[in-house]
Structure 1
């Protein structure tokens, strides 16, 4: 079994190929091709085959993650989309929650709906929340609305009728009429995308799916054509935002499910190595060329959420983006990557990000036309990166260009030296990430000091130890081949599908019959939506429920016991809810509970070999190959750092910082007062002295 994982990032596209027969692992990293992302995939698959002395014909499965959907939404490059809704609900997308995300901002702006008002049309029908038909569907009004959207050159149509989650009959009939009148137009109905109450969130999620559907379909078709042309005949799978994978046909139908596929995969890779190292609570830190992501992993499982927003008008302000009600790995993302641009602000301070140089033109040191200083330029000037060893020597870095960019745009305007400006950039981006990590973990009822930090991504290991010190974290884990950890996460990801049913009712009215009926519906949907190659007996299920105190406006998800006795379900549900609520808010209340939604997550693990150690059989020492002068963030002074080749470090051999550990895809910087070794699974474990760590 040969499996390839590929992850398209904002700056680099990463690949991992695992041959389960021989245990051989090949990795590859290349610049992303923004004009046509499939070009980078085509190049990577070809390169991996050549390295293995084989062809793409031998690859059994490919798992792919892409930023295509979220980029289409942020850049407003999706399809011309129309919306058909119940009469009187045309403006749901603009009315939203009728809530200001910043009460004191007099110039407040909300993201514009993906569908403009002239393309939001109404039809005559009405469904009760119970599913009872109050007004039959007027098909004449449907024909009129569809024809108007066809005449407006709509490429995709979203259908979201009132209370269709309770009875989808009217939506299905509208979809049939669209197919009859315009078979070339893509159709998305909310009862398939999100059969859940809350009109605004359901409409927003449905329109986003419709908006991304044509562009996703074209991209996936082109991607398939390129890899099939190389002889690949295996299964093409897509990474989902939930941390699982599903078929490419599923992604074509529900592109909203792959909106955050790359970040989710990285968290899975971190969870895998955390399990191997017996770390029960870790903070996964993924820093690439464009963004940094942080996610909490407990007992080998990434936390997930169903409340998610994209295209924020203001970063870190909930309510300022477009709501997407899907299951996603619960993470925070900030504009802090190797390509993040540093600049002097009008008031004379230093700012880093969120703007990025991306893959084109890239940082100044890439020598591809970029002239503005970035985090990578600062890391090179500080001695952390080897200009001759970047990407294993395949890409040379221009140190003089980095120095000139920092001198011209930062050092001279700020009246400081180039080295001071470079460390300012490095320190500010680390402090930005530390602040985000503290806010994120506190919202989850956790303290970062109680976690280990798993650092990965192309730029992550450079910054991980200093970030850990700022968070008072004492244990750092850098997985093998950390620069392509997200692509590896795709290989170890299970096949998954998540189903939901809204059944708003008081907990006291829950009956065993209702519970069995809902679970049967959810299980049938999961089995239908899982790839046909998955055997039903290999599927495991996790049953959970969204609940709240009567009168509250927001839900809390609580996972129910695997062996749930339906006769005692109410007590088990209350216990699970109170456990989750107490962790978030510190207390519970003697108030009646109501159930909002039932959820079922289906998962089927894929057999993937354990990753062999990253060391060679000849390794006996600490892999030291020399030294390099670099700036130590702990002592705030220049020091001689020992330089080690990671592939030559023997398991169990300890060495002290300051040290730099290099591999082809990433570089790990270990500052003073730290000690490192490689464990039996190839992970680099670093212990920071408690006395030198600081909050």
Structure 2
């Protein structure tokens, strides 16, 4: 009998590490969850794999691919645990990291704070070189000057170097020369150059992104090497991929070179899975809601596509204030992330009011009910007290919870100070975190031109299905979709992502003066470079290219994206490009200025390989007895009656196609728990997706089980 082959998805979150193993021949899934080990995340990965091995002995010998998502990079930036980094820049530009854009994110706050530069001023050095705005060399690099800088860096204990010169996006010659000198005289140091990391306009963003890449490069290198070695010792000899922030996956070598590209590695995967399901069921407006132990992530997916943005911020001093963080200019899925998860800590604020998050108990010590020494009440503790979670069936019964510890923490730290009952305090925690997430969700949907009343909310994460019903009611959504294995949705989402990579290059030219032959050569260079990166990850498949133009009116500071056909650029006319620009600008802003000149700013190429989609098997139609799916009843808190009422508890693994039932209900599976109130009805489709409809809602009545692609 032929041995089955497998693909393994592994997602490291702030509280739990999730695993999904798929059989390539049968499509059968095996899942696992274990607590994350913050001190060394590879410990949790090995533990989880060994637990899977108890179910399928020796499966690692037949794993063809492991796809991994991690929060290592973003945590290192936020916690400032990266390597000591040195910056080499053009003479006169040493302070670019402090100067930034010279904008105040709050014009009326004289005490506003800004993040400390990722490279302190003493660790920045200037080189007397210079290029003009159009790339002409005014002053070459002096090798002796570079060597002097390297000697100082070595003496100061610098581990990683970032090189970013003014205007180098137009001409790489001086940065390349410095790279050669560093490789010759300081080959033991890690190196990041802006012409390789981000050859784009905007000096501050380019310098900051290159410096961040250098800052996290050593820890990413050592972590990935250690992880691969551990995997090899337990039998893995296949290919290893990392999830990119842009929604594709890439090789371990590329992730080591460009760790800044995997900042949002884990959170992106659930969005890509939701995008896949949106196309599968032809849902026009899908709102992906992924709530784990530490954070909640969400994204509006319109017409089957999640938007990409080219700039985002990390490590904000003020969580919701744009401009208060470090700008990172790399492609990333346009998602919203807030500090709201199962481990979010509830406390009394300085004003004497209930506050939940953004601080999290994480995996260690975790919520009070984990019995690991944590004494702060969390969202998970509140959900347990409210009856939404079964203390004897958490993680399928492999991790017992102590409800008495939850009651004690909520009573002592919330109920007594507020002068209320323990149950009211527990519901206050649950409802407040829902309100926080709903407010952020409505803002995000509105910014994207969506309508919360017509979206279908897709639930992911260990805590997502518990809170999606409450979230949907607050934003006015009428439909909820809970896919199979929702509790490990990010790990499953890895299988829907293609091997892909995005490259860009800035080259400012007015449309009227542009040479389209020159632009075609530039696109060809980007496609050639991206092909080399993809072939290093996987060879033999046809590469799919997508081209994008970033254009603006001359004098503007922001660009709009124009996706164009893949054809010889010289076949376009300038009138065609201008028409495309005006139409897109008018769609975004309601009007355009046909008389004003426009210019090209940046050219982008996305190269990807064909997807290897998984197949979801149809549910059995033999069992049609709904009573056989019921585990029993337990009292849980009703958000409508504000009291405990009997909830029917269903075993999701026993639910059959076309099964229908009304709330109040709790649907349990190993990875997560679905909660729905008495005003909701649920239906199971042919593939095990659960569709929940809220009464008297304006939401669409979606039909599940459309296409299984």
Separation in structure 1 between the aligned mates of residue 232 and residue 585 of structure 2, nearest angstrom: 50
1:105 pairs with 2:109 = yes
Partner of 2:702: none
1:636 pairs with 2:653 = no
Separation in structure 2 between the aligned mates of residue 621 and residue 684 of structure 1, nearest angstrom: 17
- How far residue 589 of structure 1 moved from its aligned partner, in angstroms, is 3.2
Partner of 1:596: 601
Separation in structure 2 between the aligned mates of residue 581 and residue 624 of structure 1, nearest angstrom: 55
Partner of 2:423: 419
Structure 1 window deviating more from structure 2 (373-382 vs 570-579): it is 570-579
Residue in structure 2 matching 1:681, options 682, 687, 695: 687
Partner of 2:479: 475
Partner of 1:501: 505
Aligned ranges 1:121-136 → 2 under 5 Å: 121-136=125-140
Partner of 2:611: 606
**1:533 and 1:208, CA in 2 relative to 1: closer, same or farther beyond 3 A?**
closer
Structure 1 window deviating more from structure 2 (198-207 vs 622-631): it is 622-631
- Cα deviation, 1:390-430, whole Å, max 9, x if unaligned, reads 10000011111111111001111001111111111111111
- Cα deviation, 1:628-683, whole Å, max 9, x if unaligned, reads 11112234332211111111111111111111111000001111221111112221
1:659 pairs with 2:683 = no
- How far residue 561 of structure 1 moved from its aligned partner, in angstroms, is 3.4
1:164 pairs with 2:168 = yes
- How far residue 24 of structure 1 moved from its aligned partner, in angstroms, is 1.9
Aligned ranges 1:371-450 → 2 under 5 Å: 371-450=375-454
CA RMSD of aligned residues (A): 1.7
Separation in structure 1 between the aligned mates of residue 255 and residue 621 of structure 2, nearest angstrom: 42
- How far residue 278 of structure 1 moved from its aligned partner, in angstroms, is 2.3
Aligned ranges 1:9-28 → 2 under 5 Å: 9-28=13-32
Separation in structure 2 between the aligned mates of residue 576 and residue 292 of structure 1, nearest angstrom: 37
On the 8 A contact 1:55/1:230 being kept in 2, the answer is no
Residue in structure 2 matching 1:226, options 217, 223, 230: 230
Q: Which runs of 5+ in 2 are unaligned?
A: 700-709
Separation in structure 2 between the aligned mates of residue 444 and residue 301 of structure 1, nearest angstrom: 12
Partner of 2:531: 527
**1:691 and 1:187, CA in 2 relative to 1: closer, same or farther beyond 3 A?**
closer
1:669 pairs with 2:685 = no
**1:22 and 1:412, CA in 2 relative to 1: closer, same or farther beyond 3 A?**
same
On the 8 A contact 2:496/2:613 being kept in 1, the answer is yes
On the 8 A contact 1:459/1:483 being kept in 2, the answer is yes
On the 8 A contact 2:454/2:698 being kept in 1, the answer is no
1:247 pairs with 2:263 = no
**1:343 and 1:479, CA in 2 relative to 1: closer, same or farther beyond 3 A?**
same
On the 8 A contact 2:291/2:460 being kept in 1, the answer is yes
Q: Which runs of 5+ in 1 are unaligned?
A: none
- How far residue 349 of structure 1 moved from its aligned partner, in angstroms, is 1.1
On the 8 A contact 2:620/2:657 being kept in 1, the answer is no
**1:546 and 1:103, CA in 2 relative to 1: closer, same or farther beyond 3 A?**
same
SS class of match (2:476): coil
SS class of match (1:448): coil
**1:608 and 1:692, CA in 2 relative to 1: closer, same or farther beyond 3 A?**
closer
Separation in structure 1 between the aligned mates of residue 543 and residue 404 of structure 2, nearest angstrom: 56
Separation in structure 2 between the aligned mates of residue 678 and residue 269 of structure 1, nearest angstrom: 19
Separation in structure 2 between the aligned mates of residue 573 and residue 484 of structure 1, nearest angstrom: 44
Separation in structure 2 between the aligned mates of residue 223 and residue 582 of structure 1, nearest angstrom: 49
SS class of match (2:453): helix
* TM-score, normalised relative to structure 1: 0.97
Residue in structure 2 matching 1:182, options 186, 196, 199: 186
- How far residue 616 of structure 1 moved from its aligned partner, in angstroms, is 4.8
1:314 pairs with 2:313 = no
SS class of match (1:467): helix
- How far residue 601 of structure 1 moved from its aligned partner, in angstroms, is 0.8
Partner of 2:706: none
- How far residue 436 of structure 1 moved from its aligned partner, in angstroms, is 0.7
1:145 pairs with 2:171 = no
Separation in structure 2 between the aligned mates of residue 255 and residue 264 of structure 1, nearest angstrom: 15
Separation in structure 2 between the aligned mates of residue 692 and residue 282 of structure 1, nearest angstrom: 15
Structure 1 window deviating more from structure 2 (582-591 vs 258-267): it is 582-591
* TM-score, normalised relative to structure 2: 0.95
1:60 pairs with 2:64 = yes
Separation in structure 1 between the aligned mates of residue 562 and residue 428 of structure 2, nearest angstrom: 43
- How far residue 537 of structure 1 moved from its aligned partner, in angstroms, is 5.3
Partner of 2:42: 38
Separation in structure 2 between the aligned mates of residue 525 and residue 656 of structure 1, nearest angstrom: 55
**1:631 and 1:589, CA in 2 relative to 1: closer, same or farther beyond 3 A?**
farther
On the 8 A contact 2:76/2:82 being kept in 1, the answer is yes
- How far residue 101 of structure 1 moved from its aligned partner, in angstroms, is 0.5
SS class of match (1:432): helix
**1:478 and 1:583, CA in 2 relative to 1: closer, same or farther beyond 3 A?**
farther
